[in-house]
Amino acid sequence: MFEEHSLIRNVCIPGQERYFMHELLEDRPGKKMLVLGNEAIARGAVEAGVSVAATYPGTPSSEIGNTLHRIAKEAGMYFEFSTNEKVAFETAGAAAVAGVRAFSFMKHVGLNVAADAFMTLAYTGVRAGYVVLTADDPSCHSSQNEQDNRYYAKMSGVPMVEPSSPEEARRMMHYAFELSERFEEPVLFRTTTRMNHVRGVMEFGKITPPKGRVHFEKDPSRFVTVPANARKRHLALLEIIPKMRDESEVSPWNRVVVPEKKNTSGDLKLGIITSGVSFNYVMEVLNNVELDVTARVLKLGMTAPLPEDMISEFCRENDLVLTVEEGEPYLEEAAKALLKERGVTTTVLGKRDGHFPIPFEYNPDIVLKGIASAIGSMGRKVELPVPEENEWDTSLPEPPRPPVMCPGCPHRAAYFAVKKATKGKAVFPTDIGCYTLGIMPPQLIGDILICMGSSAGSAGGLSRVVDEPVIAFMGDSTFFHTGIPPLVNAVHNGHNFVLNIMDNATTAMTGHQPHPGLPIDGMGDPAPFISIEKVCRGLGVQFVRTVNPLDLKETQKVFEEAIAFDGPAVVITKSPCALLLDRNLRRAGRTRVKYTVYQDKCTKCDICTSTFACPAFYKIGDDHYIDPELCLSCGVCEQVCPFGAMGPIKQEGE
Amino acid sequence: MVMLNRDTCTIQIVGVGGQGALTVSRIIGAAALKKNVPIIISEIHGMAQRGGVVKTTIRLGDTISPLPFKSDITCLVGFEPLEVYRARDEISKDTVVVISTDPIRPISVSSWGKVYPEVDDIIEEVKKHTECTFSLSAREKAQEAGNERVTNVLPFTCEELREAIGESVPEKSLEANLKAFDLGYGEVHDRKK
Ligand SMILES: Cc1ncc(C[n+]2csc(CCOP(=O)(O)OP(=O)(O)O)c2C)c(N)n1
Ligand code: SF4
């Protein structure tokens, strides 16, 4: 176990892009650098003098944490990977209450986890700047939903900003901290995937060093939200909101932009209200496709509270106004309600009229189609360039290329053993992580998945109503995130299921960040690690077994015993992430023997591909092979093949 | 729809996770930054690491949009033939297409019994739809260069790129990378004549 940890240690630092290590910390205002949106945000946090930053990893926000993990110490900032988003939010939030600048960031669904704290911190407010970043993921590139977190700003009453590019993001971090301090409220910083994962040129600004320790000024009437105080704080919040709105009216981030190349002199005055990445697509359309309009674009960078006067004035000046925004009709509904209230008669069109879609990411083609459809509905013919005849022969085979677990992945081995132990007759609640990929053939493991930590909760309910055994799966990082309360629940209420905690000693799916089960923390310092096995025993689970999943027979046996056990049973399959281990071994200059198919022994029965399906396997005709480039030397195939036809590559003379 | 944004050059890289599309985009990025050419690169990370499809869009020139019109791809670089076929919507008559002819068989082929298309059929189809196609075995070139991991070649000219490679890849594989670049460049250059 210790050797494993020391192997993992060095690779706990994700994304080894050497040239970003310290360069991002250079105090050279004006220097230009090509950076990922998430790196620009991290730089913005450094420039703004953030003292405390906390996160739980989640794509598309993960690289902010990976970057801070590398530079926090040098920047004089405290950074942690918290157990989950709620803890991250509270950790940073309290620091801001005490009086230092703080930053928490998470993917969109992470804000659901933190929402309880988020909604009430809006009442107490903060004494130093607190920026809370939510990274939304339209199109669900790597998420379980595509919720639009702009509504969190509206629901809580806190101000919100939305950048369109990496450079804007860096500068907006400064602005968000200023806003937060001016109104003594947290500020929601909303990004989307095409902002976080876009690389653009960023110009360095000045770095303000973070504040050191402060004296905590007690003020319980503000910060202790018993009902009497909460009522007062709600009134206080309602009093600040109009002031925030006044700022929104004059914010330098809310402005009118005009296209330069086309659409400058048509007789229809077309206004477009937009924000975030959609602004980029709108400009691409207006600068490249002549629509015979005079177009003006209201680009909103501060989108809560909305600048109501600015919006109604903008609408008044145009013949037709469109709202272009990914996700829900947030701007559209606000604009429509506002115009109605103020008696402005300009037509506003958007999603509610069917011109723009609600689901999925936008791009210039979608935005053009929407604009053309909206203008068209006003009785104006829009001449669009004719689609090119695109007569491709679509009859060629197009086999899908889904993401799969890596060769050598311990999760695949665990699933193989579980299938043997259950003969497939079981219900499998699963959870979020690399192991979710077990839903692919031939494993086909995964019957219900809602959100992180849900497998154990679902398992409790299922175990009360189905006849089959219930076997739930959860990763080690997920266990610490939200897996412990449902296990407590299962012990206390006597639910009868097996929980397989798949301990690969990392948070693999999001890029191998450390978690509380590892001997390293967010600052890169050695840290006490929490034993999953001891936690489970401490909770009162009577059946707790740890097994190496790469040993198929033993793992199968342990699962059989766990299934036979009456009451909640935990099986910890413990083996490091193959990708991480391989990377680390290679760096240490160690190579391991690769595996191959001994052609003389292979019976071409296909058991290997149809039951195990390591991505390193391939076939030419009926003959099986293992690609040595892909093999990660786990040795499990040797146990899968009943004919001894798979094994290590033999050296000459063996 | 055809409305090429003539002020920009858009390079679309399609391939499979782990092939190094991100490294290539960084090399081009370094070259662009040096020459002060405006650049925006869009990458989708997420599941890429697990052998899924990877798409990287590089936009050079006067635009702020990380995503182009579909018809606006100047150059499509396919690190994998099937992925080029899958991206066919983004190939228009004027698109320069560079295809690596080395298939990487997805799990659906290696284990689920699906069929992989004939690489020659793909290339033939692509040739019907664009005026300029280069296909080459990147793997062979890499073997010549002495490092099979260096299978990525670029249809982008000159010294600046070599310099950018120098800044963007680890020292120990620099020589192999440069050699692979020269071989790939030579291949495309010779055929153009
Ligand atoms: C609330 C929430 N936060 C973060 C994520 C992003 N996310 C997806 S999987 C995962 C963790 C995976 O780690 P682990 O459970 O250890 O499984 P592994 O990938 O290592 O197999 C995270 C953080 C999410 N989907 N939901
Ligand atoms: S990254 Fe690690 S945990 Fe994820 S699929 Fe690969 S080997 Fe498995």
Q: Which two tokens stand for residue A537?
A: 């025993």
Q: Is the pLDDT of residue A464 over 90?
A: yes
Query: Closest Cα to atom 6, ligand 1: which residue?
Result: A58
Element (H or E) spanning A547, and its range? strand A543-547
Spatial strand order of the sheet with B96-100 comes to A32-36, A198-203, B39-43, B53-61, B8-16, B75-78, B96-100, B132-136
Would you state the pLDDT for residue B173?
Answer: 76
**Least distant ligand from the CA of A440:** 2
CA of A226 from ligand 1 middle (Å) equals 34
Query: Closest Cα to atom 6, ligand 2: which residue?
Result: A406
**Least distant ligand from the CA of A517:** 1
Q: Closest approach of chain B CAs to the CA of A278, in angstroms?
A: 9
**Nearest Cα to Cα of residue A325 among A294, A347, A356, A301:** A356
Q: Is the pLDDT of residue A654 over 80?
A: no
- Cα B177-B179-B185 angle, rounded to 5 deg: 100
Query: A652 vs A29, which has greater pLDDT?
Result: A29
Rg of the Cα trace of chain A?
A: 28
Supply the ipTM of this predicted assembly: 0.93
Query: Cβ contact (<8 Å) for A440 and B46?
Result: no
CA of A478 from ligand 1 middle (Å) equals 6
Instruction: DSSP letter for A601, please.
Output: T
CA A538 – CA A535 distance, rounded (Å): 5
| Chain segment A337-356, per-residue pLDDT in tens | 999 999 999 999 999 999 99
Q: Most A CBs within 10 Å: which of B50, B116, B131, as the mutation test of the A interface?
A: B50
Q: Closest approach of chain A CAs to the CA of B137, in angstroms?
A: 17
Query: Cβ contact (<8 Å) for A396 and B122?
Result: yes
Query: Cβ contact (<8 Å) for B114 and A610?
Result: no
Would you state the pLDDT for residue B26?
Answer: 83
Q: Are A22 and A71 in contact (CB under 8 A)?
A: yes
Q: Is B172 on the interface with A (CB under 8 A)?
A: no
CA of A518 from ligand 1 middle (Å) equals 16
Task: Give chain B positions within 8 Å (CB) of A384.
Answer: 1
Would you state the pLDDT for residue B150?
Answer: 43
Could you say which residues from 144 to 163 on chain B have a Cβ atom under 8 Å away from some Cβ of chain A?
148
The 3-class SS string of A474-537 reads EEHHHHHHHHHHHHHHHHHHCCCCEEEEEECCCECCCCCECCCCCCECCCCCECCCCCHHHHHH
CA A356 – CA A366 distance, rounded (Å): 8
Q: What value does the mean pLDDT take over residues A58-85? A: 96
Which of ligand 2's atoms lies nearest the C-alpha of A408?
A: 7
| Chain segment B84-132, per-residue pLDDT in tens | 999 999 999 889 898 999 999 999 999 999 999 999 999 999 999 998 8
Residue ranges, chain B, pLDDT below 50? 1-4, 149-156, 192-193
Q: Is B114 on the interface with A (CB under 8 A)?
A: yes
CA of A507 from ligand 1 middle (Å) equals 6
Q: Closest approach of chain A CAs to the CA of B111, in angstroms?
A: 5
- Alpha carbon of residue A236 to chain centroid: 33
What domains can be seen in chain B, in order of their start residue?
8-192 (3.40.920.10)
CA A284 – CA A287 distance, rounded (Å): 5
Q: Which residues contact A367 (CB under 8 A, 6 or more apart)?
A: A278, A281, A282, A284, A285, A324, A356
Query: Cβ contact (<8 Å) for A579 and B49?
Result: yes
Query: Cβ contact (<8 Å) for B29 and A277?
Result: no
What domains can be seen in chain A, in order of their start residue?
23-250 (3.40.50.970), 254-376 (3.40.50.920), 410-584 (3.40.50.970), 592-648 (3.30.70.20)
Q: Which residues contact A85 (CB under 8 A, 6 or more apart)?
A: A55, A56, A58, A104, A106, A110, A111, A113, A114
Flag whether the pTM goes above 0.90: yes
Q: Is the pLDDT of residue A238 over 70?
A: yes
Q: Is A454 on the interface with B (CB under 8 A)?
A: no
> What value does the mean pLDDT of chain A take?
94
Would you state the pLDDT for residue A3?
Answer: 45
| Residue in the structure block whose two tokens are 């590139």 | A141
**A198-207, A292-301, B159-168: least confidently modelled range:** B159-168
* E strand spans, A37-129: 52-55, 78-81, 102-107
CA-nearest residue to A394 within chain B is: B85
- Alpha carbon of residue A516 to chain centroid: 19
Task: Give chain A positions within 8 Å (CB) of B105.
Answer: 618
Q: What value does the mean pLDDT take over residues A549-562? A: 98
Which of B33, B69, B107 lies closest to A402 in CB terms? B107
